[in-house]
Structure 1
Amino acid sequence: MTASNVPTDTAGDAALTEAQLAVLVDRFYDRVRVHPTLGPVFNAAIDDWPGHKALLVSFWSSVALGTRSYRGNPMAKHRGLPIHAAHFEQWLDLWQATASELLPAVQAERMVGHATRIGRSLRYGVGIGERTRGLGLPLVDVS
């Protein structure tokens, strides 16, 4: 986010609320459901969308607000899904667009930061992490 996108007033510095998270999660997953690539994966994996959205509000509340209300194992839930690196990129792009549309710039930037870190962890956890070392050098397959 560039300096020109940051609001000059302090409205974006107000604390994020669980109500804002609920709207963000609801709108985001409505978009995921109809997305040409993400939709088929999510729709096949989720039977109860209202319940799933409520669970994810709890998850994001724990992440962003520190409520500790989420009980679950996101890594285990994602391990068996037919997902690839492109899914994570599309998911993050959609999250960023939705957060930027619904939240003040400062809050949107924070939520995108959280999502970026979580997405990176999930990618590694499901075995599709970036194949680079800390110095940015590609790993060589010697097998």
Structure 2
Amino acid sequence: MPADICTEEEIHQMVHSFYARIREDEVLGPIFNDHIDDWPAHLVKLEDFWSSLLRRTGRFMGQPMPKHVALPHLTAEMFERWLALFADNLKDNPNQRMAAQANAMAGRIAQRLWLGYQMGNFPDREATPLP
């Protein structure tokens, strides 16, 4: 995947517009707002994450799985809602090549986080994938 799929500015816009929606969402907003103390720093980390994925910059340093596993009371429906909001955020993006790639990656990320969440919190149950 070439680095020319998108610009850093396009990643910035995607991250900021999406998480503005998340913060206002009636279901997901309280979860994110209760667990993120420094939104500006978190958004920079998310830009690094997406830059690493979409542009292969290698800027992201972190381990999202343990942070997500530690959150209480997550459900498959919450992950599905996150994905729906993500897709909706990108549906009118002028760079549909980036949007398609980001959506595909988001689906894989959500699937991994959901499976990891279940294995970390309910090790005695069989983990079920998102639909």
The answer to whether the superposition gives a TM-score over 0.5 is yes
Runs of 4+ in structure 1 deviating by more than 6 angstroms, as ranges, are: none
1:112 paired with 2:103, answer: yes
Whole-Å Cα distance in 1 between the matches of residues 41 and 129 of structure 2?
Answer: 35
Map 1:8-47 → 2, pairs under 5 A: 15-47=5-37
Give how far 1:102 is off: 2.5
**TM-score when scaled to structure 2?**
0.85
Q: RMSD across aligned C-alpha pairs, in angstroms?
A: 1.6
The alignment covers a number of residue pairs equal to: 119
Distance 1:96 1:131, change over 3 A: closer
Deviations 1:3-39 (A, max 9, x none): xxxxxxxxxxx62111101110000000000100000
1:121 paired with 2:112, answer: yes
- What corresponds to 2:65 in structure 1? 75
- What corresponds to 2:90 in structure 1? 99
Please identify the structure whose Cα radius of gyration is greater: 1
- What corresponds to 1:88 in structure 2? 79
Structure 2: stretches of 5+ with no match in the other structure: 120-126
Deviations 1:21-80 (A, max 9, x none): 111000000000010000010000101111100000000111111111001000011011
1:130 paired with 2:120, answer: no
**TM-score when scaled to structure 1?**
0.78
Give how far 1:113 is off: 0.1
Give how far 1:92 is off: 0.4
Structure 1: stretches of 5+ with no match in the other structure: 1-13, 133-143
Identity among equivalent positions (%) equals 36
